[in-house]
Amino acid sequence: MAKGQTYNHERISFTDAKTGVHLLQLTSFPTMSMSLPYFSVNFTPDSKTLIFLSQREARRDAPWDLFRVDVDGANLTQLTESDGIGGFAISPDGHCVYFHRGNALCKVDMNDFREEEIVRLEQVTCFGLGFVSPDGRYYFTQALTKGGRMALVRYRTDGKEASVLREWEGRQMTFHSCDPGGSGLLVIVIQDERKEYRLLDYDGDDKGIFTASYDFAHCTFLGRTGRLQGCALPPDRAVLQIGLGEEKPTLIAQGVYFWHSASTLDGEWIIADTNWPDEGLQIVHVPTGHYRPLCYARSSQGHPQWTHPHPQFSPNGRYVLFNSDRTGICQIYLAEIPDDLRERIKSGKLSAKERLLF
């Protein structure tokens, strides 16, 4: 494999045997490929192209490279070939992907594959996930200072600034994600055995707490609404939402065990994988709480992250991207959501075949 090389199509088109939804396996080379986390941005804003990670070799400690591919499986292109990089975050205009290498913020152009180091921050080593503010001005990541403290770091994407915004003692802070609506940064802070879901502004100052008494299994922002949505911990089987300062979440839907969930940018729809047992990728209409299976990922759903589907929507809400190791090796897939399916879910009028799935 080589940076800048475009490979032949690896796509495999098929229909989900249970739901009849069209699926497209985008990668099939016998090394592992997987999407960025479900709370990251994987797609360009026009929903035509996505980025993903693929292992360079078939061995346990092999490095991961960044690739791009169009939603029809064309233009499968390698964007990086470098060790020690991470924190990939696509720019809001879709023209480049930001990442960190050591303590430096870098970017790679999506079209000509030119790589550039933007700015360094000498007092930290970056190692966490990366996120870009919706206006494209800032890149945020979690880092470790030379003094051994967890830190929240901000880089200006124009290279004019790099700074440590906050430091925490020990491993008590996790920088989770950046609100696509622009309200701020979600961090999870553990203090005195209390877990807080806290919102910070772009300067690292507190804006408020979503909850310090309720703990989600997994959560992320409900599109651009400024609210959080997430899955309940067992034994509860529900997906819920909460606003800043509300403390107690409100129910969206319950029944199956929703595991990892993501939403459309308008916050109207949620997609969630399920577990214990696996009941498919469930598409949920937030206003009504109605849901049904979109498709079945058939992942092994073990401990490694690449065995989890981690579904997420394209910006236009037309596609759902997910991982599956159904072939024995993790690959990435797209499900195309039929327009009539949305209407049936909203109304609660399922077809005879859909009723059998429940």
Domain count, the chain: 1
What pLDDT, in 10s, does the model give residues 59-72? 988 999 999 999 99
The band of 350, judged by pLDDT with boundaries at 50, 70 and 90, is: confident
The band of 349, judged by pLDDT with boundaries at 50, 70 and 90, is: confident
Query: What CATH number is associated with residue 257?
Result: 2.130.10.10
Catalogue the E-assigned strands of 91-172.
96-101, 104-109, 115-120, 124-132, 138-145, 150-156, 162-168
Task: Read off the pTM.
Answer: 0.95
Note whether residue 75 is domain-resident. yes
Note whether residue 229 is domain-resident. yes
What is the pLDDT of the chain when averaged over all its residues?
95
Residues 175, 148: Cα–Cα separation, whole Å: 16
Note whether residue 138 is domain-resident. no
**What three-state secondary structure class fits 41?**
coil
How confident is the model at residue 218, as a pLDDT? 98
Note whether residue 136 is domain-resident. no
Nearest alpha carbon to residue 321 among 87, 93, 52: 52
What pLDDT, in 10s, does the model give residues 83-97? 889 999 999 999 999
Residues 88, 97: contact at Cβ < 8 Å? Answer: yes
What domain range is 281 assigned to?
A: 6-83+180-357
CA–CA distance from 41 to each of 36, 145, 151, 172, 324 (Å)? 8, 26, 22, 25, 19
Note whether residue 218 is domain-resident. yes
For residue 274, list its beta bridge partners: 258
What pLDDT, in 10s, does the model give residues 283-325? 999 999 999 999 999 999 999 999 999 999 999 999 999 999 9
Note whether residue 184 is domain-resident. yes
Work out the average pLDDT over 7-11: 97
Note whether residue 158 is domain-resident. no
Q: What percent of the chain has pLDDT over 70?
A: 97
Nearest alpha carbon to residue 194 among 206, 217, 211, 208: 211
Answer whether the bond into residue 277 is a cis peptide, omega within 30°: yes
Note whether residue 169 is domain-resident. no
What pLDDT, in 10s, does the model give residues 147-191? 888 999 999 999 999 999 999 875 588 999 999 999 999 999 988
